[in-house]
Amino acid sequence: MDEVSNTPGRVAGRVTSRDGTPIAYERYGEGPPLVLVSGALGTAAGGRALGGLLARRFSVVAYDRRGRGGSGDTRPYAVGREIEDLAAVVGEAGAGAALYGEGTGGALALAAVAAGLEVGAVAAYEPPYSVEAAERRRQVGVLLDVGRPLAALDLFLADPAASGPRSGVTGLRPGVAELAHTLAYDLAVLGDGTVPERLLARVHARVLVVDGGASPAGTRRAALTLTAALPRARHRTLTGQTHEVAPHVLAPVLEDFLTENRETVEAA
């Protein structure tokens, strides 16, 4: 059952994933359902700026991926379990829900749709596929395995394809370092780091792939490769933006795409 949160217009609640894990979410706005899927180190709270802008046209549902915020963390981890989490949230959001995933959240959203999750449309901002970063990410995994999460986090943040330019652990907002163990989950979602073309060929929803014009060249190449691998995708570059995209720049692009997709479906 939902319960009203402290912030006006926002309702907080929980759903139970297939393996029994409680998944916390928050909902705000009115209109067609839209689920926000956070990237590495992200939580539902981190999506409020973007969600607040989109709430003018959509019923936005943002959730804490397992191991983060108010959600549980049943072990052992498996990407399939994260897909089940997302399916539970989509079921709560409502039929025909669209997905927006940022960073690794975009890769997770696409993997879920490839696995059979029915959604209205998908938008993804810079899923961090990168062959060049494979060795760095392997080292991140090793540090996590030997119980050095802060060292793993610092190394992860040095990868612009995964996190965007930051100042390391000391520059993070409070509480983020506690999520370092979930980097292993993001690494699992990304697999070997290459764009999974055979998997993505099963994604038949309309997809918008977005990148920033000021992001690294490798990030932009990955976005183009991703777009080409999807049966029904288009690509958009936001001039001057980086991996830390400005919500007020991104929101109207998502709104236009999702509104256009819904109108197309309703007219069919």
What integer is the mean pLDDT of 188-215? 96
Q: Is the pLDDT of residue 38 over 90?
A: yes
Q: Where residue 1 falls among pLDDT bands split at 50, 70, 90?
A: very low
Q: 227-242: per-residue pLDDT in tens?
A: 999 999 999 999 999 9
Q: Is the pLDDT of residue 4 over 50?
A: no
Greatest pairwise CA separation for the chain in angstroms: 55
Q: 142-191: per-residue pLDDT in tens?
A: 999 999 998 999 888 887 655 444 444 544 565 788 899 999 999 999 99
Amino acid identity at 245:
V
Q: Where residue 10 falls among pLDDT bands split at 50, 70, 90?
A: confident
Q: Is the pLDDT of residue 66 over 70?
A: yes
* pLDDT at residue 264, rounded to an integer: 75
Kindly state the percentage of the chain with pLDDT values over 90.
Answer: 78
Of 72, 45, 40, the closest CA to residue 166 belongs to: 40
pTM of the predicted structure, to 2 decimals = 0.92
Q: Is the pLDDT of residue 26 over 60?
A: yes
CA distance 74 to 101: 22
Q: For residue 38, what are its two tokens?
A: 């956070």
150 vs 25: which has the higher pLDDT = 25
Look up tokens 């983020």; give the residue.
176
Q: Where residue 267 falls among pLDDT bands split at 50, 70, 90?
A: low
